[in-house]
């Protein structure tokens, strides 16, 4: 009887391990979860600088972001 229980336990554990490995393999990647697109090659060409809208950080925005900072590497 004891042998039977031990064998059942071993069989169960083996199946459990296989199941978890299978689950890991089928688990979706971060890109799939977040619905990222597939990598595609982009044709080379000059990108107009005007299409990049940048903005200067104001002193108050900067101060807000580094309010918890203790050390600055560059003043």
Distance separating alpha carbons of residues 71 and 62, to the nearest angstrom? 14
Q: How far is CA 61 from CA 22, 30, 64, 70, 75, in A?
A: 48, 32, 5, 17, 16
Q: Which stretch binds another protein (CB under 8 A): 2-10, 17-25, 55-63?
A: 55-63
- Asked if 59 interacts with another protein (CB under 8 A), we say yes
Is position 74 an interface residue for another protein (rule: CB under 8 A)?
Answer: yes
Question: Is residue 34 near another protein by the rule CB under 8 A?
Answer: yes
Is 17 in a helix, a strand, or coil? Answer: helix
Contacts to another protein by CB under 8 A = 29-32, 34, 36-39, 41-42, 44-49, 51-57, 59, 61-62, 65-66, 68-75
């Amino acid at each position: 009887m004891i042998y039977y229980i031990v064998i059942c336990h071993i069989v169960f554990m083996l199946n459990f391990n296989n199941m978890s490995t299978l689950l890991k393999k089928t688990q979706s990647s971060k890109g799939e979860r977040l619905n990222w697109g597939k990598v595609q090659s982009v044709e080379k060409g000059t990108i107009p600088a005007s299409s990049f809208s940048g903005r200067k950080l104001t002193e108050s925005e900067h101060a807000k972001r580094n309010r918890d900072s203790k050390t600055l590497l560059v003043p």
